[in-house]
Amino acid sequence: MAYHFQFPRSTQGRLVLLTLFCLIACVAQAATVFAVEKLTVYSGRSERLIKPVLDEFTSKTGIQVDLLSSGTTELVNRLKAEGDRTPADLFLTNDAGSLEQARAAGILRPLNMREVDRAIPPQFRAPDNAWIGLSGRFWIIVYNTALVKPDELKSLLDLADPKWKGKLAIPNAGSEYLQAGVSVIRASYGDARTKEFLVGLKDNAGGQVYQKSSQIVEAVAKGQASLGIVNHYYIYRHLAAQPTAPIAAFMPDQQESGMGAIMNVAGVGIVRSTKHLESAKLLVEFLVAQAGQKLFADLDKEYPLHPEVKADPALVERKNFRAAQVPLTRLAELREPTLTLIEQVGLR
Amino acid sequence: MTTLRAHLSSPLQLVTLASAALILLPLGYVTSQALSADPAVWSRLWTTRIPELLTNTIWLSASVACLTLLLGVSTAWLVTRIEFAGRRLWEGALVLPLAMPTYVLAYIYSYLLGFGGPVEHVWQLIAGPQARVFSPQSYVGATLVMTLDTFPFVYLLSRSALLNLNVSFEEVSRASGISRLKTLWLVTLPLMRPSIAAGLALVILYVVSDFGAVSLLRYQTLTYAVFQQMTGRSDNTAASILSLLLVGLALLFLVTERWFRHRSRFYQTTGRYRRPERHRFGWLGTTLVTGYLALVVGASFGLPAYLLVIWSLSPEAQATIDNRFFGFLWNSGFLAACAATGGVLIGLPLAYMANRRPSWLNLGCLQAAYAGYVLPGPVAALAVLVLCLNLTPFLYGSVLVLIVAYVIHFLPAGLQSLEPALQQITPNLEEVARTLGLGVRQTWQRVTLPLMRNGFIVAWVLMFLQTMKELPATLLLRPVGFDTLAIRVWMEASEEYYQLAAPSALLIVLLGLPTLLLLLSKDWRAA
């Protein structure tokens, strides 16, 4: 006997049906999550920079990766709130300070992996390997070659000089690069000098406060701003796409007694409560191995941390400049007072 | 006492109370968090951020209000008092901007007016190679975008006021030899005042609670600052404090709007004796009027829509239309369907009890449900987040939390159409059904529900479409793998990948068009 499904006539019946439909959809959505071996990655890096790398991992191992891209601090807050119930297996982000904070909050899992010890020098990872640096980036000056001559530039701190008023583009106060950069300046020169610097920065930037580093590079390339402070790889990514753009990178604070360029790393940590430890380790292994490190160098124009992997030839060679002597692990403890200082100055 | 017990005994009553609690609890938590904050945080915010944020928010609202007043009233007057070729077409077209979410319009204008953008090129041809147009990332830019997006509120209200006015007043004035413009100034506008004021209050409420445009145009308002505090700091105290201020500000405008709407009843004349006679314009007049309307509609809808289509057809954009894209579409639809269904299920008992048993308790619950009006997206997200962390931490990061935030945020829009639908059913019908021997449940099934079906559907569709384009709460609360179309637009647009953002944006606009039909027919308030 054929079974005829009859659509309920009464409104109440339809309502019940609709609710049922939604429930089924909910369950179906949940079911797909558990069907195949899958890793969930919380990523504070721009999706454009990290997705190609993760796609490469998926095509190599067959392990699917679910990506939640969001702000770094937002994700740390989220991981703290979710505790052991978090769906995340790994936390990947652009700032060592945030990674160290996550480690201190007990979110990340200490790792004992020979592959990591061999590939990444110890100053670029947590002592217990709860987070592991993957690629290095420097907070440097991008300038428009038609508007600024490189000999006008020396230190980041000079950007507070009134002569750059209306010509400077800076990231917004929520940017972890800015926070980390200010922390390093505080550690090198003290709070009073840093505050003076920030006040000048705020005045000079005016309305040119951007959410994304790529926007700053774009603005400098168009001449809307003469110079800006960004992570180095945004400059080289822009130049790779548009080789004729009138921009160049300046590595600041290399003068004698200067603090050196401000370095930060993007890194990854395995979330303590992960249920997919083996796959998560596979991903870490993939990221620190030469092949993975080469992806960061080629696609993203970052400095790979693996000593045997070369950076993109367009970049200033790593051995030709100095980095600031503030250990990455200190970025976390420096952060809260830095935020207060930033707020006091009233940076947006 | 007995009445109270009788009240509490009915299951429907319990449902009503639970729904009201669901809405009030989050707000209560945020308030208490803000009030119990360390005074040092308060004073730090007062000395640094709050003055700037308050002035920015108020200035933006004020200038948008002035401009929407001009645009809205003038366009409404033209399409109701002047007869020209294509009048009916323009009458409908003037609502179209409401289908553009503010963040879509904002990103299109940051391209158009941006440094080295098309407008600047044209301007440099006229004014010399060094000429610059104003930056869209500024007070002027934010004002322009918000004005173009919200003037239809004033237009719709003014139009219906003009259509419902008793034309005799105007005719008397004209018969006494007063010119057409002077009549407008001395008679028509004063009569329209309550409707205009209600429209303006609505515009201001919208501006105050907008997140999309101000975040893309980097204009610091309270709503944007709440979002920034939530994403940039490791505790939510500062965000709660700013939220409280924002809720206070929004409440002020909501009360104003209610007050004007209430007053406007005095001006409604009961019977309209005939249609207003429309003055016919010659070819010159028609050209001028058409030119003006085309400029307004073109700037607010035509040109942006054209750009979206062109960008969507570009090869870069076409490459993004893959399985992932359809996944985003499915996520948007799924979340919106859940939120709309949840909203109807929660709104129905609230509206029913308030109408059929209007006790103080039930009316209070209904009013509580309207709290969503004063909870801008980031604040609703913050409220739900704080509640969830305190009461049900195991739900954090699940779809349910996001859906609760949507329901709280959009329930007022749904209630706007559920309530009248219920009011229109006279209780007599239900009573007749009961005397004819139907039980309570059967009466509900066979009489009440079928009669209010339309209100039901309208409420569902409205909540569905609003959820579809919601941005800040989704950004803050979405679970893994729940990126929606709106999120994609925002992510691509905030890195200025205009083409890549276009397909999602276009789809959101297209899906928003059906709401406009509903708006034109009756429920204009809900957009």
Closest approach of B123 to chain A, Cα-based (Å): 16
Q: Is A248 exposed, middle or buried (0-12, 13-18, 19+ CB in 10 A)?
A: middle
pLDDT value for A235: 95
Q: How confident is residue B289, by pLDDT bands cut at 50, 70 and 90?
A: very high
pLDDT tens digits for range B479-516: 888 899 999 999 888 877 888 999 999 999 998 887 77
Beta-carbon separation of A207 and B138 below 8 A = yes
Judging contacts by C-beta atoms under 8 Å, the chain B residues touching residue A99 are none
Query: Is the model's pLDDT at B11 over the cut of 90?
Result: no
Q: Does A214 touch chain B (CB under 8 A)?
A: yes
Q: What is the pLDDT of residues B32-82, one digit of tens each?
A: 888 988 888 888 888 878 898 999 999 999 999 999 999 999 999 999 888
Per-residue pLDDT for A5 more than 50? no
Neighboring chain B residues of A223 at a CB cutoff of 8 Å: 115
- Rounded Cα distance between B340 and A236, Å, is 46
Residue B146, SS3 per DSSP: helix
Closest Cα of chain A to B414: distance in Å?
Answer: 16
What confidence tier does A307 reach under pLDDT thresholds 50, 70, 90? Answer: very high
Q: Do B495 and A68 touch (CB under 8 A)?
A: no
Q: Does A28 touch chain B (CB under 8 A)?
A: no
Question: Can you give the pLDDT at residue A119?
Answer: 93
Per-residue pLDDT tens over the stretch A143-152: 999 999 999 9
Evaluate whether B10-28+314-527 and B49-311 have a shared fold.
yes
- Residues in chain A with CB shorter than 8 Å from the CB of B230 are 74
Task: Report the pLDDT value the prediction gives residue B524, as an integer from 0 to 100.
Answer: 43
Extents of the domains making up chain B: 10-28+314-527, 49-311
Measured between beta carbons, which residues in chain A are less than 8 angstroms from residue B228?
Answer: 172-174
**B242-269 pLDDT, tens digit each:** 999 998 888 888 787 777 767 655 444 5
- The pair of structure tokens assigned to B336 is 């919106």
CB–CB of B480 and A10 under 8 A? no
More confident residue, A89 or B268: A89
Least confident of A30-39, B7-16, B54-63: A30-39
C-alpha to C-alpha distance for B94 and B300, rounded to whole angstroms: 9
Summarize pLDDT for A205-236 with one digit per residue, the tens. 987 888 788 889 999 999 989 999 999 999 99
Cβ contacts from A onto B, under 8 A: 115
> With helix as H, strand as E and coil as C, how does A9-55 read?
CCHHHHHHHHHHHHHHHHHHHHHHHHHCCEEEEEECCCHHHHHHHHH
Which amino acid is it at B39?
P
> CATH number for the A137-262+333-345 domain, one of 3.40.630.40, 3.40.190.10, 3.40.50.720, 3.40.50.150?
3.40.190.10
For chain A, the C-alpha Rg in angstroms (whole number) is 23
**For the stretch A5-40, what's the b/e string if a residue is b when 16 or more beta carbons lie within 10 angstroms of its beta carbon?**
eeeeeebbeebeebeeebeeeeeebeeeeeeeebbb
Strand partners, A326: none
Domain with CATH 3.40.190.10 in chain A: 35-136+264-316, 137-262+333-345
A55 touches chain B (CB under 8 A): no
- The pLDDT mean for chain A works out to 88
- pLDDT level of residue B526 (50, 70, 90 thresholds): very low
Cross-chain CB nearest to B231 (options A42, A68, A174): A174
Residues of chain B positioned with their CB less than 8 A from the CB of A209 = 218
Q: Which of A9, A10, A11 best probes binding to B when mutated, by most B CB atoms within 10 angstroms?
A: A11
Beta-strand pair A227-231/A132-144:
antiparallel
* CATH number given to B10-28+314-527: 1.10.3720.10
Q: What is the pTM of this model?
A: 0.83
For B145, list phi and psi in degrees, rounded to 5. Answer: -65, -45
pLDDT band at B150 (very low <50, low <70, confident <90, very high): very high
pLDDT band for position A19 (50/70/90)? low
Reported as a single tens digit per residue, the pLDDT across B19-33 is: 888 888 888 888 888
Nearest chain B CA: its distance from A297 CA (Å): 22
**Dihedral of alpha carbons A164, A168, A173, A176, sign:** negative
Bridge partners (DSSP) of residue A248 are A143
Residue B271 CA to residue B286 CA, distance in Å, equals 31
Cα within 13 Å of Cα(B401), Cβ side: 29
Mean pLDDT of B136-158: 92
Residue scoring higher pLDDT (B424 or A105): A105
CA distance A100 to chain B (A): 14
Write down the pLDDT at residue A348. Answer: 74
Q: Measure in Å the smallest separation between the Cα of B297 and chain A Cα atoms.
A: 30
Predicted ipTM of the assembly: 0.78
Q: With contacts defined as CB-CB under 8 Å, which chain A residues touch B341? A: 18-19, 22
Instruction: Provide the pLDDT confidence category of residue B522 given band limits of 50, 70 and 90.
Output: low
Nearest CA-CA partner of A86 in A96, A95, A77: A77
Alpha carbon distance B223, B147 (integer Å): 18
Q: Contact B481/A66, CB-based, under 8 Å?
A: yes
Q: Tokens for A46?
A: 């721009």
pLDDT of residue A27: 53
To the nearest 10°, report the CA torsion of B260, B266, B267, B268. 110
According to the model, what pLDDT value does residue A270 have?
96
Return the CATH architecture of domain A35-136+264-316: 3-Layer(aba) Sandwich (3.40)
Exposed, middle or buried, A169 (CB in 10 Å: 0-12/13-18/19+)?
Answer: buried
Domain B49-311, CATH: 1.10.3720.10
Q: Is there a contact between B338 and A22 if contact means CB atoms under 8 Å apart?
A: yes
> What average pLDDT does range A8-32 have in this prediction?
56
A chain contacts of residue B445, beta-carbon cutoff 8 Å: 10-12
